[in-house]
Amino acid sequence: MDELSGFIRAVTLVRPSKSLDEVTPQSVRRKMKDKAFSRDVNRDDITKGAQELGLELDEHIAFIVESMKPVAAQIDLRTGGE
């Protein structure tokens, strides 16, 4: 798991529903500002990764969240279909 997908998983797990459907780029960015949350995740790596792909960070986050939904059950998360 890369930095961003691991961070998104952590953001999802602190939600009461543990559902990826409730995770938005804004909610991920808020948690990125909280240095105590998943402190081992390098926020610069997340930001640089989006830049290297030529994407806005919000666009990249949204794409990764959507790409995780088909495997949500395998990584102990939920989606609206579960």
Q: What are 13-72's pLDDT values in tens digits?
A: 999 999 999 999 999 999 999 999 999 999 999 999 999 999 999 999 999 999 999 999
Contact partners, residue 27, CB within 8 Å, separation at least 6: 11
* Rounded Cα–Cα distance for residues 5 and 72 (Å): 11
Q: Are 15 and 31 in contact (CB under 8 A)?
A: no
User: Is 82 a residue whose pLDDT tops 70?
Assistant: no
